[in-house]
Every structure is written in C-alpha cells, then in structure tokens.
Structure 1
Amino acid sequence: MTAIPSAQTSPLPPGTESFDPANSEAWEALRALGHRMLDDMLDIQSSLTHRPAWQELPATKRHLFDEPAPIEGIGADAAYDRFRSHILPYGNGNWHPRFFGWVQGQGTPLAMLAEMLAAGMNPHLAGFNHSPPMVERQVVSWLAQLMGIPGAGGLLVTGGTAANTHALGVARFAAVRARGGNVREHGLQHWPEGPTAKPLVFYGSVETHGWARKAAEWLGLGDRAFRRVPVDAAYEMDLVALRGMIERDRQNGLDPFCVMGTAGTVNTGATDALPAIAQLCRDESLWFHVDGAFGALAVLAPSVRDQMAGLELADSIAFDLHKWGAMPFECACVLVRDPAVNHDTFRANASYLAETSRGVSAGGVYFADRGLDLTRGFKALKVWMQLQASGVAKLGRIIEQNVTQAQHFARAVLAHPSLELLAPAPLNIVCFRYRADALDDDTLNVMNEELLLRLQERGIAVPSSTRIGGRFALRLAHVNHRTTDEDMALVLAAVTEIGDELVGELVAARAQRGP
C-alpha cells in the first residue's frame, strides 16, 4: 500500500507552479493573514450596532471596479487591503441589526466559519460515497420532519426561485405522466397524442412572488399558464375565485395541474388558507405546492405555528434558510413528498457517473439525480453546524422574538397620529407610511419615498418599500436575529422625525412660492 506523506510543509519543486504557498514561510504568512481576516470579521460583527446600517461606496473608490483584469498579481496582503477599504464597508447592510429590507437574513458568526470549512474541504455535492452528501441528506431529513412531511425527498438549492421552480418542474412532470405523456422525452409540444393536447395551467394568488412568472417561462409553459387568483381583504387567496377559475379554464379547453399556496407573502406576510387549498387540490386531483420562502419556518415558533397549518399536506414545499433561518447566502430547500417522482423528474444516466459497488462512486450521484445541477457546493454544512450548536428550539425562539417585535411596531404605528398602517400585519412584515392630513396620496407617495431614502442614506436603518393599493409603503420585513427592542424604537422615532422634517420643508417651499 502506498504510504501517505506525513503532515509537513514541503517547498514546491523548481519550475512548478501552484496556488498554494511556495514554502513554509509563505504558508506562515498566509496563516497570519487568515487570522487577521477572521479577527476583522468577528470584530465587525460584534460591533455592528455602532456602525451605519448602510453607506454608499464613494465616487472616489468606484474606479477600482473599472480596472482591467490584473495580468500580474499584487499579492494576498494587498488584495485583502483592497477588500477592507473598497468592499467590506459597502455591502447592502443586511448583517446590521436595523436591516429590514426585502426579507434578507443576516448570517451568523458560526455559519460564517462553517462556510470557511466547507470551502476548505471543497467537496463536490453531486453525491457519491463521502461524508458531505451524508450531511446534506441528514439536513434535508431534519427539515422534512420539521415541516411535517417526514420521508420527503429534496435537496438544498440556491434560493427560493430555484426551489419553487424545481417543485413546479416536478409537478409538471407528474401531471404529464398522469396524462400518458413523457415531458422529458417529448416536451410539452410533442406528446404521443399530438398537438391537440390541452395547455397546462397552474394557479397562485396575485400576491405570489415573481419567481412564478420566471418558472412558467423557463419550464416552457409560458406566462399565460400562470393563472393569477384575486385576494381578499387580508391579502389571502380568494378560494371562491380560485374554484371559479379552475372550472372556467377547463370549460375553455385548458388543463389545470397545480395550485400554489403562499406561506408568508412577500408584500404583507399573509398566509393563504393552506388546509382549504389542500382539500381543493385533493378534490380536483391537482398538485399542491407551498411557497414558504420565508414563512414556512414559522412552524418552529409555537405562538405563530397555527398560521402555517396545512404545510404538512403539501405535495411540495420551497423555503429559504438564508431568510428566517439566518444562514449566509445562499441556501434554500425544496421538499417533495414523493421522493420517487422527484427522482424520476431529474435522473440521468452517464457512463462517467456510473455507480460502483464500493469506493468513492458507491451510492451514485444522489443529489444530481434529484435536481438540475450536477456541480453543487457544500451548503448543508452551515445549517448542520448551526443546528447542532444551537438547536431547533433556539431558532424558533428567535422567530417568535421577531414576530413579537414586528407586532409591537405595528401597534405603535396604529397608535401614532402621523403614521398609518397600510395592510394587516399577521406575521413579521409591517407596511406603513408617514402621513399628514392636509396632503393627498400623490404627495404622500413622493414624501414617503424620500423618507425611505433618507433613512437609508443616513445609515439609520434599511427598510424596503412596496405599493399597497397604489400607496407607497415603507416595508419593514423582520427576520433579523440581531435586532433589539431599542433598534425598533429607534427606527420608529427616526421615521417620525424625518417625516416631520419633510413636512417642514414642504411648508417652507410652498410659503416661498407664495399664494
């Protein structure tokens, strides 16, 4: 048996090049730089409260990103100095305790270190016989149990768009197969029965995230196949309208195959009536998918778990761990109740990927046969390490903390004479605006947009925005594990202060113009 060399550093042979350090001294220099990097990142993360929530990259530093590719390198220390001066201070702010924009998670210090470990190992997660795929299979199994569908198949993907599109692709495959066709072999236009096959259509509310249109286009269904269902006053899917649309579409020669419920809509945090949708899908023989991009993880929080009732009835679920799961980007999960249909949708045979009875290739390309990607990174390690270290219960408590803080903020908006709640806030998203009785909606829209920009540009906080009934809304989407009650109070005070400031400017401008 060939001996494995002992663990010691050897210089590279003359004339040999590598991206590894060339000798022991160079290894020690890189080690020192690595410790500096780690110290810098932990120093910043431990002092975020005292830093701006966001700051724009100055014009004087933008020239770096217009430079041509370096033909000769400047060395690791100099490259890191450029990172510290031109990149590190100028992110979008999502790691800050007063970041509430777009439903973006903050990451955790431990998960950051796990990312380093994953990159250091650099395993290929198509499958095969090594420990990293075992970690992902365990994480997916944990998540399936937590969502109430133990034994479901699935995998980790880049984000909610990929996860939801994956699930819709499985639903499309299952629907075509149930109708005697093979979408993988013939596509949608060349089924055995020819071009007279009815066009497939699927349903989601008008509040469904933009992934659905992309998925319809990418899967060859076309945007017209995405049937947008009206919502009620709570921004939940109108089930009477849904039933009517399904009936009319069938009468008009269309072929419904899937209904998508949303657990936590992107605009307001509303959750569709998932149990009722599940029953409708059983009655109508339709696939039931749940887009739980951020809301699905509320099943871990006892006080709001009831809002997620019906998740356990889904044929497929998609959700992001880099949102309410606090993981660094990118990390989402798709679960399919029937692992066999997931496998049948994606499996492929290639001689260079053949499974062997022993060795590295034993077990085959498990994940590549269950998704689009062959090459996959080790996303599961950060989830595995954080849950091992902190436990599921702590994540549930943080989710409850976020909901409590958001609900308190919503009540404060309702109680404030200069603020207006623009939509119900059932979970953790608060849509509101500053208002003054003498100003019309058009003026208030302009004013609130300026208010948002000043909040961000002054580094106070980073909410995002949306439109509710044509009105510009500040949108506070709270999935932030670093936020304190003091942070929430500071944001509320800053909104009213800047709003008052803008009203004062408007009054002064009108006075200057005269009657």
Structure 2
Amino acid sequence: LIALGVMRHVKTGGSIRGQGFQEQTAPMVIYTSTQGHGCIQKAVEILGFGSAYLRKIPVDSGYRMNLDALRTQVQADRAAGLLPVCVAASAGTVNTGAIDPLDDIADLLVAEQLWFHVDGAYGGLGILVEPSLYKGIERADSLAIDPHKWLYMPVECGCVMVKDAQAMRDSYSLVPSYLRDDTAMPWFSEFSIQQTRGFKALKLWLVMQQIGVEGYRELLRHDMVLAKSLQAKIRARDDFELVAAGPLSVTCFRYKRQGMADLDGLNRKLAETVQREGKAFLTTTELNGQLVLRACIVNFRTTEADLDILLDAIAEAGGRVPTGD
C-alpha cells in the first residue's frame, strides 16, 4: 500500500494529493501475476485505481509471471487508450515460492517507463542463500519484505523500501505546526501513512545483534534444505504426488488413495485433521484448478524427523477416511 502510494504520486506528477484523480485523462493500469499476493489487489482498490484496472498476468509452468503475456497486455492497454503505470512482481510467491523473472521484467519496464515494485514479503530474504535467483531485484523502484515471515519475528514487523526517498517523503509528508521542528530529523510519519507508531523494528534489531546476517543466512539455508528433502521424500512415496517444488521453502503436494474420486475434498479434510490433531500446521491452496497441500518451512526448529512425522500423519489420517467419502 505504501509503495504503490508513492508510485501513484510519481505517476500523477504529484497532483494526486491536491486534485485526486480528477485531472487524470486516462485510467491507470497495474500488473501482477495470477500468483501475486492479494495485498496487491487490496492496495489497488484502496488507492482508487479500481480492481478493474489490475491485470493478472498468466504464469509459466514454474508459476512465474509470463514475460511475453505481460508485454502483450501492456501493449494492448496502451492501444486501448489506457495508461500502464506499474508492475508488481513477486520474489517468492506465497503459493509456491516462485520468483518472477525480475531482470527481464526490469528491462521491459525501462523501455515502457513503468514503476517496478517487487513483493518480497515472504521470499525476498532468500537472496541471502541463493542470490542468483534474484537477479534484477536491485532494479526495483520499491520493495516489500516482512521480517515476521522468514526472519521469524513476532507479528507484526513489515518493511518497505523505496529507491527515491524524496518521492516517498513528498507522497506522505504532512507536518502540522505542533510537530514542526526545523532542527530535527524528518519524522518517520513523513514517509508513510501512520503518524504515531510502535517501535516495531526493535525486536529485529535485537536478534540481529545476536546472530547477525550470517546467522540468518544459515537459518534460511536450513529451511530451504529441508524443503528439498521433503520434496525428495514425496517423490519416493506412491501415496503422494509432488505438484510444485518451489526454489525456496514451499512445497505443494497431494495425498493419493485408490478408490477416492474427490481428491480435492480428501486433501482438504486431511489438512484440517492434521491441524486439529496437533501433528503439523499445514495449509491448502489451489494450483491449476486443483486443491493441494502446502507445506511452508519457516521455523528454524523444524527437523528432518518432522518431515517424516508430517507425511506419516497425513497418510495415517487418509487411511481412516472411508472410501466412499
């Protein structure tokens, strides 16, 4: 929301704060992928662009934004008299951990003069372990990261970075006389929506003093290694199907059982059962029209043994479901 608010300020030449959208001659269009996080649509709606002008671009077989489809859609919107302004790419989608082709997208956006936002809320910090996967992320105009996801912080602890600090300040700065102090540093409220706020960064700062960047690198590597191990275990079993082996710490899969026609219903029931019985916290999502189990390893206390417990618990619960259900 904050990052796209800065983009809106820049793309309207600053008039948005005084005139709103009243001086806009063409509707502005924003692009994300079909795997983009729901917060993108929510921000588009809150900021007044309207979800009718949010384009959800198809993805490739690895669930990454399809660059050709993006290019075609941008050109089609221009031809229709619309104004493309921003692409919100993903550096680690929630569903599968997929990382969009950031460098290629950046090349396209330079040519088209669009704002480049990267949603790295979950997966952006995987760059500490596999930097080659993130080529082009440094070209983003804005970047979102949530330390309360993969840096193990208590909720909430979010972070947004904007390359043009002055544009960010111009988008939000409003300092009333009772707060004005020309000798002080800028107020943090000049760079975002909130004025009074808690010291959310303190918990992250404290952990950084204890383990540092290298400590975090090893913890993230641990999670990613376990995800690869889980994927190997699933491939080795006949009662499971690996659906998406993401590059980070997310694995999507399904339990299979002979004689069960409704695998979507079965897997939904199994996720609920495993959670209710306290064996594991497992979620579900949809990929290519089918419901899948989603295991996201973002706890440094997870062990190899936990992976076996997870799969065995699912299989055991699946065996208890009557064939006709």
> Shorter-chain TM-score category?
over 0.9
Q: Secondary structure at the match of 2:241?
A: strand
The percent of aligned pairs where both chains have the same amino acid is 40
Q: Secondary structure at the match of 2:95?
A: coil
For residues 279-326 of structure 1, the C-alpha deviation after alignment (integer angstroms, 9 at most, x for no partner) is 11111111111000111101111xx22212221111110010000011
Contact 1:353 1:364 in 2 (8 A): no
For residues 373-432 of structure 1, the C-alpha deviation after alignment (integer angstroms, 9 at most, x for no partner) is 001100111111100111111111111110110111011111110100122322211111
The 2-side partners of 1:279 and 1:405 are apart by 34
Please tell me whether residue 187 in structure 1 is matched to residue 13 in structure 2: no
Counterpart residue number, 1:355: 181
Counterpart residue number, 2:313: 494
What TM-score do the two structures reach when normalised by structure 2? 0.97
From 232, 235, 242, the counterpart of 1:421: 242
Select the structure of larger CA radius of gyration: 1
The 2-side partners of 1:252 and 1:280 are apart by 19
Counterpart residue number, 1:237: 65
For residues 93-128 of structure 1, the C-alpha deviation after alignment (integer angstroms, 9 at most, x for no partner) is xxxxxxxxxxxxxxxxxxxxxxxxxxxxxxxxxxxx
For residues 220-271 of structure 1, the C-alpha deviation after alignment (integer angstroms, 9 at most, x for no partner) is 1100121111111111101101000000100101000111110111111111
From 74, 87, 92, the counterpart of 1:259: 87
The 2-side partners of 1:236 and 1:424 are apart by 13
The 1-side partners of 2:15 and 2:110 are apart by 23
Counterpart residue number, 1:394: 215
The equivalences for 1:398-417 within 5 A come to 398-417=219-238
The 2-side partners of 1:339 and 1:423 are apart by 38
The 2-side partners of 1:273 and 1:391 are apart by 29
The 2-side partners of 1:363 and 1:171 are apart by 24
The alpha-carbon deviation at position 499 of structure 1 amounts to: 1.8
Please tell me whether residue 336 in structure 1 is matched to residue 157 in structure 2: no
The 2-side partners of 1:256 and 1:274 are apart by 18
The 1-side partners of 2:234 and 2:175 are apart by 58
Q: 1:356 to 1:285 in 2, by over 3 A?
A: closer
The equivalences for 1:447-466 within 5 A come to 447-466=266-285
The equivalences for 1:218-237 within 5 A come to 218-237=46-65
Contact 1:345 1:370 in 2 (8 A): yes
From 369, 374, 382, the counterpart of 2:190: 369
Gaps of 5+ in 1: 1-164, 510-515
The alpha-carbon deviation at position 501 of structure 1 amounts to: 2.5
The 2-side partners of 1:470 and 1:205 are apart by 16
The 2-side partners of 1:491 and 1:226 are apart by 38
The alpha-carbon deviation at position 466 of structure 1 amounts to: 0.6
Counterpart residue number, 1:167: 3
Counterpart residue number, 1:202: 30
The 2-side partners of 1:292 and 1:320 are apart by 8
Please tell me whether residue 446 in structure 1 is matched to residue 265 in structure 2: yes
Q: Secondary structure at the match of 1:322?
A: helix
- Give the alignment's Cα RMSD to 1 decimal: 1.3
Question: What is the identity, as a one-letter code, of the residue corresponding to 2:132?
Answer: D
Contact 1:354 1:364 in 2 (8 A): no
Give the paired residue count: 325
Question: What is the identity, as a one-letter code, of the residue corresponding to 1:453?
Answer: E
The alpha-carbon deviation at position 437 of structure 1 amounts to: 4.1
* RCO comparison, higher one (Cα < 8 Å, 6+): 1
Contact 1:402 1:478 in 2 (8 A): yes
The 2-side partners of 1:312 and 1:452 are apart by 38
The alpha-carbon deviation at position 172 of structure 1 amounts to: 1.0
What TM-score do the two structures reach when normalised by structure 1? 0.62
Contact 2:40 2:88 in 1 (8 A): no
Counterpart residue number, 1:318: 144
Gaps of 5+ in 2: none
From 293, 316, 319, the counterpart of 1:474: 293
Contact 1:428 1:479 in 2 (8 A): yes
The 2-side partners of 1:364 and 1:434 are apart by 54
The 1-side partners of 2:114 and 2:186 are apart by 32
Counterpart residue number, 2:101: 273
The 2-side partners of 1:331 and 1:234 are apart by 29
The 1-side partners of 2:314 and 2:288 are apart by 21
The 2-side partners of 1:479 and 1:311 are apart by 22
The 2-side partners of 1:315 and 1:409 are apart by 35
Counterpart residue number, 1:378: 199
From 130, 134, 156, the counterpart of 1:308: 134
The 2-side partners of 1:299 and 1:470 are apart by 30
Counterpart residue number, 1:9: none
The 2-side partners of 1:405 and 1:364 are apart by 44
The 1-side partners of 2:57 and 2:179 are apart by 44
The 2-side partners of 1:495 and 1:373 are apart by 44
Question: What is the identity, as a one-letter code, of the residue corresponding to 2:260?
Answer: L
The 2-side partners of 1:481 and 1:202 are apart by 36
The alpha-carbon deviation at position 184 of structure 1 amounts to: 0.6
The 2-side partners of 1:246 and 1:437 are apart by 46
